[in-house]
Amino acid sequence: MTASTFVLADPTKCIGCQSCEIACAVAHLGTSITTAGEMEAPFQPRLRVVRTSQVTMPIQCRHCEDAPCANACPVGAIVRQDGVVLVKEEKCIGCKTCVLACPFGAMDVVPALDKGQRVRQPGLKVQTDEGAAPKERYVAHKCDLCIGRPGGPACVEVCLARALVLVKRGTMARSVKSRRTASAMQIARSGVQPAGANR
Amino acid sequence: MSGLGTAFGSGAMTNTINELQQMGPNDAIFAIGTNTTECHPIIGIRMLEAHRRGARLIVADPRETELAKHADVYLRHNPGSDVALLNAMMYVILTEGLADEAFIKSRTENFEACRETVLKYSPERVEGITGVPAEKVRQAARLFATAENGATYYTMGITQHTSGVDNVLSVANLAMLTGNLGKPRAGVNPLRGQNNVQGACDMGALPNVYPAYQPVTDPKVREKFEKAWGRKLSDKVGMAISDVLRGIEEGKVRFLYVFGENPMRSDPDVNHVRHCLEKVEFLVVQDIFLTESAAMADVVLPGTTWAEKDGTFSNTERRVQRVRQAVEPRGNARPDWQILRDLIRAMGYPADYSSPEEIFNEIRTVAPSYAGMTYERLEKLGGIHWPCPTEEHPGTPILHVGKFSRGLGRFSAVDWRPPAELPDDEYPLVLTTGRRTAHYHTGTMTRNCWGLDGVAPEEWVEISPEDAADLGIAHGDHVRLTTRRGSVVARAEVTDRVPKGVTFITFHYTESAGNLLTNSALDPVSKTPEYKVCAVRVEKVSA
């Protein structure tokens, strides 16, 4: 199986407008945004813009080849499918181990939604003075590369600054090759010789 | 508008947005008092693209905006010190022989007075006012003045001061000093905050002019409009918003008709605005939602949204474009022009317009700068820049080519004045205001949008790490901001984006309304309030 593709932002282009967050949340909403507004569906993007005095850019899943989130999951709810590291919501128990394991901060645990509507879990109830009350279901939440979406990842499509790109294996190979060439040229131009070369 | 009118004879953006796409290594962008990437994101992206192609980028702002992060030179000047900063840049340009002498000689007047004043402002001498190291000012001045073309962009960071007109005059001085007018990739470019605020001004929605900036005090102009409209007209200048509020307090204004505006959140010193709106005898508000202002009205008239209306918008670069209705108005909402037509009719004037196009054609007969535009031409050309005097005229993307609208460009001698309210022991920090990308103005529309409110659901006040540490405030704490006029609670964003001594709040959130805090002190000429500087006290709110 080939190396997975992933979405990456260019901090020199990003203006921090958060359109990607909105596009992501809408793409996974399962209903229209007007309906979402009327029923106050939670806003749950799968990437988040980081904004500090040094850098502004969204951070999202890298779809790691040996994904720590999947390796850490005690119930096998995170799988690799069609080159995408994917959460199988139906299996997730909301334990947050994946959140702790992810080195990029790309995992979250959020309310599970069905067509924008919060859902109750069938299992564990909340103990109250009036007895057992239903509890909202929470699940692991991460970038799924908009799997099955005709236009590809919604965040890439919406970015007006063209700061987001879908990095494919070929893109990486080309970039690595051109950097390798540039390094070689730089060494040649600098006239530096390896120690002992003149011996 | 007052400032550029004085200097050039026209208050509008001199050049066009698309010129940014032609900018490269010989060009310079000077952005002062504009958070362009956040408030005009498309223009901001074009600026960054131009910068990547090699255009020089100079940014002056008290807050380190996204644009500032990318700048070749970033000038973090103290709020309200713009005149001193601009004069210091001009000092460098003058004393280092970088001024465009030929342009000054052939195209301008009153240069000597300006020069005399500027020479009092060496970068070293004004460091105490601006807070900007002299060497940085020198770098910025050289970078701008040695570029073949230099375009200046500004917004409310320049205008919303008690010295707003002086700030604009200084920007105009700098552009003339470097010969950056009447040519592409240059100019003085006030970016308008709304899709049609230029159009509203063009139509005479100002106290002193008829459509196309024809003065109400000019007898010839009055005669022309009396003939066109078949009624006697007043020769007196009307009231600015601040005068209206005072008029209500004094019992001189008894009826107020507000549309497409939410003064209960957008005007400074909201507690005072509330007092006035409660006092006025009869208040009519026309809007698309029941805003905080509409909730106080005796009569609410439901207008239509952008998607429900037809007509034209005149954007920041003076380009008139068609807007087309996409859906039928909901409920009992009606297009603004129909509501106004019926009101005019009810007042006894035979207004019988049947379409926005018919109204547009009447505009063409009285506004010479719109005379050559027809709906057909707007459609075909995708918009036309005014002035466009005849149907053969291609429109005017760049103003002041060869000659200023007023003839010669006029330099002004401008001295720095401090803002109206500065920090003291009781209110030790400066509060400045602005916007966030996701929200528009008082949030009337955007806070009702699921996605837009989703990314920015609450106010986060910016405070520097130093001030936060002094006040025992941690990132995310709830804080209370108090000024002489009011008090609001919001979350604290502890960030280097603001310097020590400066805090920042928006005016988007009704539950943390920034304009409860702002000062209504006015620029003496333009009557624009000083939204950008007031004194504030910040305290942690215990949970």
Per-residue model confidence (pLDDT) at position B314: 96
User: Closest approach of chain A CAs to the CA of B424, in angstroms?
Assistant: 28
What is the crossing angle of helices B82-95 and B134-145, to 10°?
60
- Contact residues on chain A for B438, CB-CB shorter than 8 A: 17-18
Per-residue model confidence (pLDDT) at position B83: 98
Q: Per the CB < 8 Å rule, is B437 touching A18?
A: yes
**Closest chain B CA to residue A36:** B450
Q: Do domains B2-191 and B197-385 have the same CATH topology?
A: no
User: Closest approach of chain B CAs to the CA of A55, in angstroms?
Assistant: 8
- Name the average pLDDT for chain B: 96
Burial B317-334 (b: 16+ CB within 10 A, else e): bbbbbbeeeeeebeeebb
Total residues found in chain B within this entry: 543
Q: Per the CB < 8 Å rule, is B37 touching A17?
A: yes
What is the crossing angle of helices B356-366 and B219-229, to 10°?
150
Residue B363 has pLDDT above 60, yes or no: yes
Per-residue model confidence (pLDDT) at position A117: 87
- Contact residues on chain A for B37, CB-CB shorter than 8 A: 15-17
Residue matched to tokens 């007509």: B311
Q: Per the CB < 8 Å rule, is A53 touching B455?
A: no
Range B105-133 average pLDDT: 98
Residue A199 has pLDDT above 70, yes or no: no
Residue A198 has pLDDT above 60, yes or no: no
CA B217 to chain centre: 25
CA distances for B63 relative to B432, B446, B455, B463, B491, angstroms: 9, 24, 21, 11, 18
A113 in B contact zone (CB under 8 Å): no
Between these two residues, A34 and B65, which has the higher pLDDT value? B65
The residues, ordered by sequence, that sit 6+ positions from B224 with a Cβ below 8 Å of its Cβ are: B214, B366
Per-residue model confidence (pLDDT) at position A169: 81
Q: Per the CB < 8 Å rule, is B42 touching A160?
A: yes
CATH architecture of B429-540: Beta Barrel (2.40)
- Contact residues on chain B for A34, CB-CB shorter than 8 A: 450
Residue B478 has pLDDT above 60, yes or no: yes
Rounded CA-CA distance B99/B93 in Å is 6
- Contact residues on chain B for A54, CB-CB shorter than 8 A: 69
| CATH code for the part of the protein at B2-191 | 3.40.228.10
Note which residues in 36-75 of chain B have CB less than 8 A from chain A. 37-38, 41-42, 44-45, 48, 52, 64, 66, 69-70
Residues B366-384: tens digit of each pLDDT: 999 999 999 999 999 999 9
Q: Where are the beta strands (DSSP E) in B253-377?
A: 255-259, 282-287, 299-302, 311-314, 319-323
CA atoms within 13 Å, Cβ hemisphere of B350: 3
Residue B388 has pLDDT above 80, yes or no: yes
Residues A148-176: tens digit of each pLDDT: 999 999 999 999 999 999 998 888 888 88
Q: Per the CB < 8 Å rule, is A37 touching B449?
A: yes
CA distances for B373 relative to B45, B321, B347, angstroms: 30, 10, 30
Q: Per the CB < 8 Å rule, is A160 touching B69?
A: no
Range B134-157 average pLDDT: 98
CATH architecture of B197-385: 3-Layer(aba) Sandwich (3.40)
Range A108-113 average pLDDT: 95
User: Closest approach of chain A CAs to the CA of B107, in angstroms?
Assistant: 38
User: Closest approach of chain A CAs to the CA of B35, in angstroms?
Assistant: 11
Question: What DSSP assignment string belongs to B83-146?
Answer: HHHHHHHHHHHHHTT-S-HHHHHHHEE-HHHHHHHHTT--HHHHHHHH---HHHHHHHHHHHHT
Nearest alpha carbon to residue B161 among B109, B216, B85, B236: B85
Per-residue model confidence (pLDDT) at position A36: 75
The one-letter amino acid at B396? T
Per-residue model confidence (pLDDT) at position A104: 96
Nearest to B455 among A21, A52, A56 (CB): A21
Rounded CA-CA distance B165/B154 in Å is 13
**Closest chain B CA to residue A29:** B451
Q: Per the CB < 8 Å rule, is B41 touching A15?
A: yes
pLDDT category, A33, cuts 50, 70, 90? confident
Range A40-54 average pLDDT: 91
Query: For B179, left (φ over 0), alpha (ψ -120 to 50), or beta?
Result: left
Nearest to A25 among B37, B437, B451 (CB): B451
Residue B137 · residue B92 · CB < 8 Å: yes
Per-residue model confidence (pLDDT) at position A34: 79
Residue B446 · residue B452 · CB < 8 Å: yes
- Contact residues on chain A for B38, CB-CB shorter than 8 A: 15-17
**Closest chain A CA to residue B447:** A37
Nearest to B450 among A17, A21, A36 (CB): A36
Per-residue model confidence (pLDDT) at position B543: 63
Domain boundaries, chain B: 2-191, 197-385, 429-540
Supply the ipTM of this predicted assembly: 0.91
**Closest chain B CA to residue A38:** B450
CA B241 to chain centre: 15
Nearest to B495 among A26, A34, A53 (CB): A53
Q: Please report, in angstroms and rounded to a whole number, the separation of the first and last CA atoms in chain A.
A: 47
Rounded CA-CA distance B533/B527 in Å is 15
Percentage, residues of chain B above pLDDT 90: 98
Residues B183-211: tens digit of each pLDDT: 999 999 999 988 999 999 999 999 999 99
User: Closest approach of chain A CAs to the CA of B48, in angstroms?
Assistant: 7
Residue B448 has pLDDT above 60, yes or no: yes
Residues B402-413: tens digit of each pLDDT: 999 999 999 999
CA B529 to chain centre: 12
Best probe of the A interface among B455, B463, B464, B500, by most A CBs < 10 A, is B455
Range B159-186 average pLDDT: 97
Residue matched to tokens 């008239």: B301
B457 in A contact zone (CB under 8 Å): yes
- Contact residues on chain B for A18, CB-CB shorter than 8 A: 437-438, 455-456
pLDDT category, A197, cuts 50, 70, 90? low
